[in-house]
């Protein structure tokens, strides 16, 4: 955790956001990540996602079972989703979402939006060309040599 915190402090000094993350196994750091949203013009370049990407690339797998993530702050909804999809065994965090909200990183609106039906969300959306798109799902469903994830 101290490394994740150290990364978050260094990242602020280097022009990034105040977030750092570490993926480790048995006390050995496998990968790290920092928030580079503004530096890379990538809204998904959060510390946790960056650390997951680095660990998956280094290990050559999308399944990070057996590893843990240490993050300097309670993850946003996107990062929490990525942590679940990566199948990390455990998550540790330092600052919480209220601490983040107090400095301008408020994700509560996303949690609120997820509770609503799509037609009631602030982001307009509509179903389109489902009959065409479902063909990919049908192909996947009948594929015998697929790699499940």
Nearest to 39 by CA among 11, 75, 8: 11
Q: Specify whether 74 is catalytic.
A: no
Cβ pair 23, 64 in contact under 8 A: yes
Enumerate the H helices of 14-149 as residue ranges: 37-40, 47-59, 77-86, 97-102, 108-114, 130-142
Q: Which of 6, 48, 74, 131 is catalytic?
A: 48
Active site (catalytic) residues: 48
């Amino acid at each position: 955790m101290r490394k994740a915190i150290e990364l978050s402090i260094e990242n602020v000094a280097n022009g990034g956001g105040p977030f750092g993350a570490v993926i480790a196994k048995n006390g050995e750091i496998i990968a790290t990540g920092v928030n580079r949203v503004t530096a890379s013009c990538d809204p998904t370049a959060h510390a946790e996602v960056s650390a997951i990407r680095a660990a998956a690339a280094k290990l050559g797998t999308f399944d990070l079972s057996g590893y843990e993530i240490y993050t300097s702050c309670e993850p946003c909804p996107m990062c929490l989703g990525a942590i679940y999809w990566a199948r990390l065994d455990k998550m540790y965090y330092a600052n919480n979402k209220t601490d983040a909200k107090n400095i301008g990183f408020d994700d509560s609106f996303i949690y609120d939006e997820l509770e609503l039906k799509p037609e009631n969300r602030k982001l307009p959306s509509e179903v389109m060309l489902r009959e065409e798109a479902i063909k990919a799902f049908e192909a996947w469903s009948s594929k015998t040599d697929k790699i499940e994830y």
